[in-house]
Structure 1
Amino acid sequence: MSERVSDRVRRLLVEQPEIVVRFTAAIAPESFHHAVRSNGAVLFLHPVHRDLVDQLRG
């Protein structure tokens, strides 16, 4: 897992615990997309990061 992605995910989940996380294979494992919309923030991640998100939100 890319350290850059895991570090960013950790920071975003701490700073924005209400962020919606969507998993999609359309995002490369070493990438992410953070979108801020009028109805809230969304973080798009590759499914390989699901365990990390589950662990942080545990």
Structure 2
Amino acid sequence: MTQYQIADAVGVSRAYYADVERGRYTPSLKLLLRLSVLLNIDLNFLKQNDGNTSTC
């Protein structure tokens, strides 16, 4: 999915969603819930994930 598609599906602008991805803004719990449902990702993972995908 593109940023445009995800942003539209969860009810935010593409620019805001991109800033959330970059860590510039902290998403609300409501937005995290919408993302978890849309992307079929556990809400706890989204809440705990700090954006660091490194396994070092």
TM-score by length of 2: 0.29
- Larger strand percent: 1
Structure with greater helix share of residues: 2
Greater relative contact order structure (CA < 8 Å, 6+ sep) = 1
